[in-house]
Amino acid sequence: MRVLFLCGSTRAVSHSARLLDLCAELLPPGATIDRLYPADVTLPLVNPDVETHGAILAELRALHARFAQADAIVIACP
């Protein structure tokens, strides 16, 4: 089982990140955890002017792959 943990907080000492840590402890042995933090994503929120640039498309495809490979997604957000 592959679980994507998406933390919505940017704080260094985040309650959301701590909650995800606690959730990770409850997963069955052998589960793979992929943690995604806001700082990991450098994509613009919405900007059609740059959506077709190669570097942005490559990052978007990589991000999409992380979501597509997940069997489950857990989101913790303030």
Q: Does the structure show a pLDDT above 90 at 6? A: yes
Q: Which residue has the tokens 């490559």?
A: 58
User: How much is the pLDDT for 42?
Assistant: 84
Higher pLDDT, 73 or 78: 73
User: How much is the pLDDT for 47?
Assistant: 79
How many Cβ atoms from other residues are within 10 Å of residue 76's Cβ?
19
CA end-to-end span of the chain: 26
Cβ–Cβ < 8 Å for 10, 39: yes
Q: Which residue has the tokens 């077709």?
A: 52
CA distance 32 to 71: 10
User: How much is the pLDDT for 45?
Assistant: 76
